[in-house]
Each structure stands twice: as structure tokens, then as C-alpha cells.
Amino acid sequence: MWYRSGTMPARNYLNRRLSDGVRRVGFRKWYERELLSSHAHMLLALLCTIALMGSLEAFNGGTLAEKFLDIVFFVVSGAIGLWALRRYLYLLMHAEEVANQAVCPQCQEYGRFTVASEDRRNDQVTVCCRKCQHHWTINA
């Protein structure tokens, strides 16, 4: 996917890896937490957009020093907003990509598996269905 091309880090520093999350809280809770984290970044991007509009409004009046401060505030809000938007898209797409692979190919059970092994170098997790004991690989 586009987020693995080197533009974004493959490691998610704010959330647990798939294998760690499934071992601790299960797949469904891990997925829920990924989505909540994603939407928190979307909210941050929205707040930065409001801050951008506020700094543009404040730019109309004031001294030269206040205008310089407004420009700095505008740049900082824009940078944080862009980071938050990229992070939102990364977390959302990663969670959805993993969720699309969370169905057992044999019995069609969704999200009920345990981690059998993981290959961190290739970013793959081998999982075992709790219902039929079938093993398959999820690209995390």
C-alpha cells in the first residue's frame, strides 16, 4: 500500500503491534483501539484547521510583531494538521487492511483467532482460528 512505500514508518509507535495487541486484548479490541486512535488524529486535524482560520483572521490587524507571531502560528498549525491528517489516514488504512484479512478462510469466522507466530522482518503474523484451528497469514 502507499503507506508502506517509505513515506510513513511501518511501525506504529502510538499503538501496539497487531501481534502484541491480539495477545493482550484480542483482535476486536485491538481494531477498536486503532480506529479510536485514528479518529483522535482526525479531530486534531480539524482543530488545526480551525486554528489556521483563526490565525488568518487575526492577521488583518496588529503590529508587525503580532503579524509575525500569526505567521508562526499559521505554519505550526498547518504542520501539525498535515501530520495529524497523514497519521489519521495511515491508522485507518492499516486497521482496515488488517480487518479485511481477519476472516478465517476455512470457516469464515471473523476476528476470532490467536497469534501462532510472527515474522517482524516481513511484517507478517501467522494466526490460528479459535473455531476450526486453521492457520493463515495476515500481512500487518
What pLDDT does residue 3 have?
44
pLDDT tens digits along 67-107: 899 999 999 999 999 999 999 999 999 999 999 999 999 99
What nine digits make up the cell of 133?
484451528
Residues paired with residue 3 on neighbouring β-strands, in sequence order = none
pLDDT classification of 45: cutoffs 50, 70, 90: very high
pLDDT classification of 61: cutoffs 50, 70, 90: confident
Is residue 101 classed exposed, middle or buried when 0-12, 13-18 and 19+ CB atoms within 10 A define those classes?
middle
User: Is there a contact between 8 and 86 (Cβ–Cβ < 8 Å)?
Assistant: yes
| Mean of pLDDT values over 6-14 | 51
pTM of the predicted protein model: 0.78
| Mean of pLDDT values over 29-56 | 94
User: Is there a contact between 111 and 22 (Cβ–Cβ < 8 Å)?
Assistant: no
Which residue matches cell numbers 503507506? 3
Q: Please state whether 133 falls in left (phi above 0), alpha (psi between -120 and 50) or beta.
A: left
pLDDT classification of 2: cutoffs 50, 70, 90: very low
DSSP 8-state class, residue 115: E
